[in-house]
Structure 1
Amino acid sequence: MSRFMPLVILLISVVAAGVLWLSGPFDSQASNPLTENQTQEVASETPQKQEEQIQQDTPAGAQESTQKSTAYPIAVTPKTSYDFGVLPRFTQAQHIFEIHNDGTAPLELKQGPSSCSCTLLGLDTSKVMPGETAEIKLEWTLKFKEGPFSQSAVIYTNDPERKEIEFVVQGLTETRLGLSETEVVFSSLYPGDSPTKEVLLYSRTLKSLGEVSQNIKAEIPGFNVTLHEASAEDLKEVEGRCGYIIKVEVPSELDSGDHVGQIQFTAHPEELANEENAEMRTPTVTLNIDLRVKDPGAKFFSPLIDGWGRIKLGEVSSEKGSELLKINFRVDQGSTPWKVTKINKHPEFLEVKVVPLDQEHGMFQLQIQVPPGTPEGNYYGQTIGRIALESDHPYIPRVPSGKRIGIALEFHVK
């Protein structure tokens, strides 16, 4: 036998085995461990069954880790603010707020900052289990004199959506005695004006103000202040229970300039007479009065007039005369219209006219011209030209006002 014979026999055996394997039918079931029915059964499983199967196949430690990563607290607050309405000053008040945990993990609470007059008395617990509720108590002393107040406190939480929660208490400090306006202003009065204004003196808590005394701190000569009882309609706007209307009258004889007055009103209600330290708690308010009386006159608006009230025409042709000068001015006429009754002029040949521009607002135009054919002459020094306007207005009888002789014109005709 040839020495290569065993190798040939081995090769023939391998080839024959390969032919037999290739010639056999492909058995899909043999290659797939699931039958057709089993495949349909797996495909028809709901996500819930699949999740249960996964949980069964997941080790216990891994399940616990997954639950921890999805659990978190949810802080729910039915209310974060409370309105107490009207409270007396120096009242010590408190209110309780609630925080509910709607989450799946403990809700941790920590006290945060609070406003100056508000104290967070504390939490009944620093950890709120799922489904449970914690109480938060706020307390403060009402120190505000009157009007609205608002105090707040902050709670920090481990809720990822609400890291901090602010609780607010608010309301109104009672007004035992108040004024609808603490300052009465009369601006830009004219001499002879005598306007009046009314201010409401009221209380939101007292049944009656009793006798109201006045103490003048700063006096305005001739000023008159009277009181008469306010009606329910008068008090409605300020939510008052009782009060008086203060009528302030400005005297017509006031000199021009600024005037300041101050009056203190003190109520003496019977219901406070028996209170401890009644004198210290007697309600008092102060009304300030500010007014300005104008020094009326006229103001000219023209670059032709210098600081001395002069118009320098210079040389004027006797044959042609001068150009028509137009000078605008405004009169502080007040409620009485200002009208020209007479024009004083020197020399007499000057042509002068006053044209109303906006009479309602006291705007006028002064027109001046040296007419053609004027004789030669010099108008300087003692013979300087001048113009003054007279009126029957009660406090602006002359324009220009004051001691000036009028508008001066320097010129010579040649």
Structure 2
Amino acid sequence: MNLRAVTAIIALVIALAGTVWLGRGNGDIQSAAPAPKQVETSEDRPKISPTGPYPKAVVEKPRYNFGSMAVGQTLSHHFVLKNEGEAPLEVKKGATTCKCTLSEMKENTVAPGESVEIELTWTPKSPQEHFGQTATIYTNDPENQELKLQIEGMANNLIAFTGDHEGSPHWSLPTMSTTDPVSFTGKIHTKYLDEFKILGIESSQKGLTSKFKPLTAEELKEADAKTGYSIEVTADPEQFPLGGFNERLTIKTDIPHDLSPPGSEEAHDHPEGHDHKHDHEHAEPSGPRNFVIQVSGNHTGPIRIVPTFGVHWNPQTMVLNLGEFSAKEGKSVILSMFVEGTEQPLEIVDQEIAPDFLEFELKKDEKFESKNKQRYELKFAVPAEMSPVSFGRTNLAKVKLQTNHPNAKVIEFRVQFISL
């Protein structure tokens, strides 16, 4: 065997030995733990450590229900965020639909084993069967990089009324058919305030008066309220013309417009660049609150009107509806009016008719026999060959009579029709 062959064999043996040694050595080396999945974050979020150790963000109850609260009332809840990890927890406030406040902490970090409070505050601006507001908290916990905290509840009107319909109370008085005043008693109360005062009540009509007194303990229990009042409304027939009416009572109270606790800020955070002047223009009015109650009724007095068959007459509003008809043909209807309270024949002292083409006629029924009543025929007519015209709910035609009757000095009829 020549020298070159021997040298090649020795080199091969050395190479094989090195390969075996390297294989054994690799079997003894421990594999490194894989780095946690790094989610891409924006520059303003806390950074996740690529190797650890890591914090652990824990909020036991991330959702809180306020239950029932009042429109305009400000409530807050404190969530507790604890760091159960091995490294400092960095936190930063993200997007929020309500006011979110972080308690003071050093450089926005929470040491292992420590906790921080996060306050969420909400002021509902309108009634809602269910509201939900959310705040997002960014952290450097790789398992909880975004924490969602939520407050929810129901928002109702601060004050409840008898006859309340979607926040607009409407009280109806009994029909005024004699000279005796009529009355209605309604209630105003709340389950959100411990007390409030009525400073006064103003009426849009001098013949409409009112008085109030606190609700009894039994009445409060029945209404599920903390405090409230009963209000008796009285209408004097001598102060009302005949026909339907709709008046207003303005209840003046000591309830402030802003129900936020003293020193509290606006319920919403203002993002950068927010127009504070615009907020000022739409801010809540200052001073105590007023509440308006619509009061309706019908003053029939000593008269009663009975329409003939097919004629649409509303005694509550004193509105005669002629419906739709041909302008070329026109239309006329007859109503019967029974009058009490006088032995003298009813006379028209003056009358006002609008539009002026509307025809009206009052005729006494001489054949009607009664000891205490008189019967009259009322004729309303739109002449034929008129141009098409419409008188609807917002522009009713009117027939206003001044009479010699001591208890029916003014009688006003309103007429609705469409001629085509």
Same fold (TM over 0.5): no
Q: Where is the helix percentage greater, Structure 1 or Structure 2?
A: 1
TM norm structure 1: 0.42
Q: Which has the higher contact order (CA 8 A, sep 6+)?
A: 2
- TM-score normalised over the length of structure 2: 0.41
